[in-house]
Structure 1
Amino acid sequence: MSGIQELPDELQLAAAAHVKYIQSLDTKKDEYEYWLTEHLRLNGLYWGLTALHLLRHPDALPRGEAIDFVLSCQHESGGFGAAPGHDAHMLYTVSAVQIFVLLDALDELEKRGKGNGKAQVGKFLADLQNRETGTFAGDEWGEEDTRFLYGALNALSLLGLLHLVDVNKAVDYIAACANYDGGYGVSPGAETHSGQIFTCLAALSIAGRKDLIDADKLGGWLSERQVACGGLNGRPEKKEDVCYNWWVLSSLEMIGRTHWVDREKLIKFTLSCQDSERGGLSDRPGDMVDIWHTFFGLTGLSLLKYPGVEAIDPVYCLPKYTIDRVFGKAG
Structure 2
Amino acid sequence: MEELKAEKHVQYILSIEKKKDNFESVVMEHLRMNGAYWGLTTLDILEKLETVDPDEIVSWVMKCQHESGGFGGNIGHDPHILYTLSAVQILALFDRINVLDIKSDISGLQNEDGFFSGDMWGEVDTRFSYIAICCLSLLHRWDKINVEKAVNYIVICKNLDGGFGCTPGGESHIFCCVGALSIMGSLRHIDKDLLWWWLCERQVKSGGLNGRPENLPGVCYSWWVLSSLIMIDRVHWIDKEKLVQFILDCQDKENGGISDRLNDAVDVFHTYFGVTGKLQLDFHLLDYPGLKSIDPAYALPVDVV
TM range (shorter): over 0.9
2:165 counterpart of 1:188 = no
Secondary structure (helix, strand or coil) at the match of 1:237 reads: coil
Amino acid at match of 1:136: F
What is the CA RMSD across the aligned residues, in angstroms? 1.2
Matched, 1:315 2:297: yes
**What secondary structure, in the 3-state scheme, does the structure 2 residue paired with 1:118 have?**
coil
- Give the counterpart letter for 2:168 in structure 1: P
Please give the residue correspondences for 1:295-306 in structure 2 after superposition, counting only pairs within 5 Å: 295-305=272-282
Q: Report the equivalent of 1:79.
A: 70
Tell me the CA shift for residue 60 of structure 1: 2.2
In the TM superposition, what are the counterparts of 1:118-129 in structure 2 within 5 Å? 118-120=102-104, 122=105, 125-129=106-110
- 2:257 corresponds, among 280, 284, 287, to 280
Secondary structure at the aligned position of 2:303 is classed as helix
Offset of residue 245 of structure 1: 0.6
Q: Say if 2:48 is the partner of 1:57.
A: yes
Match of 1:178 in 2: 158
1:229-240 equivalences under 5 Å are 229-240=206-217
User: Structure 1 residue 56: deviation in Å?
Assistant: 1.6
Q: Counterparts of 1:304 and 1:310 in 2: how far apart (Å)?
A: 12
Conserved? CA contact 1:184–1:200, under 8 Å: yes
Does the 8 A contact of 1:55 with 1:309 survive in 2? Answer: no
Please tell me whether the aligned partners of residues 205 and 315 of structure 1 are also in contact (alpha carbons under 8 angstroms). Answer: yes
1:150 pairs, out of 115, 119, 130, with 130
Say if 1:42 and 1:95, in contact at 8 Å, map to a contact too. yes
Q: Does 1:218 align with 2:195?
A: yes
- 1:310 to partner: Cα distance: 2.3
1:249 aligned to 226, 233, 246, which one?
226
* 1:22 pairs with one of 13, 30, 34: 13
User: Does 1:91 find its partner at 2:95?
Assistant: no
- Output the CA distance in 1 between the equivalents of 2:51 and 2:256: 15
Q: Give the TM-score, by structure 1 length.
A: 0.89
Question: Structure 2 regions of 5+ residues with no counterpart?
Answer: none
Deviation at 1:151, TM superposition (A): 0.5
**1:251–1:314 Cα contact (<8 Å) kept:** yes
Q: How far, CA to CA, are the matches of 1:102 and 1:272 in structure 2?
A: 29
Cα offset for 1:309?
A: 5.6
Once the two structures are overlaid, the 10-residue window that deviates more, 57-66 or 300-309, is 300-309
Q: CA deviation at 1:54?
A: 1.2
Q: What number of residue pairs does the alignment pair up?
A: 300
Structure 2 CA distance for aligned equivalents of residues 193 and 134 of structure 1: 20
Tell me which stretches of 4 or more aligned residues in structure 1 moved more than 6 Å. none
Give the corresponding residue for 1:113: none
Q: Distance in 2 between matches of 1:279 and 1:223?
A: 29
Q: Which amino acid aligns with 2:274?
A: G
Q: Name the counterpart of 2:98.
A: 107
Question: How far is the alpha carbon of 1:108 from its aligned partner?
Answer: 2.5
TM-superposition CA deviations, 1:214-263 (whole Å, max 9, x none)? 11110111011000000000011110000101110010000001111111
Q: Tell me if the contact between 1:134 and 1:166 (Cα under 8 Å) persists in the aligned partners.
A: yes
Distance 1:45 1:71 in 2: 13
**Alpha-carbon deviation of 1:118?**
2.4
Structure 1 counterpart of 2:135, one-letter code: A
Q: AA paired with 1:215?
A: K
Check if 1:291 corresponds to 2:271: no
Distance 1:258 1:208 in 2: 19
SS in 1 for 2:167: coil
Unaligned stretches of 5+ residues in structure 1? 1-7, 110-116, 324-331
2: CA distance between counterparts of 1:39 and 1:259?
38
| Correspondence for 1:206 | 183
TM-score by length of 2: 0.96
Q: Which residue of the partner structure matches residue 35 of structure 2?
A: 44
1:161 aligns with 2:141: yes
Which residue is equivalent to 1:34? Answer: 25
Which residue of the partner structure matches residue 241 of structure 2?
264
Secondary structure of the residue aligned to 1:101 is helix
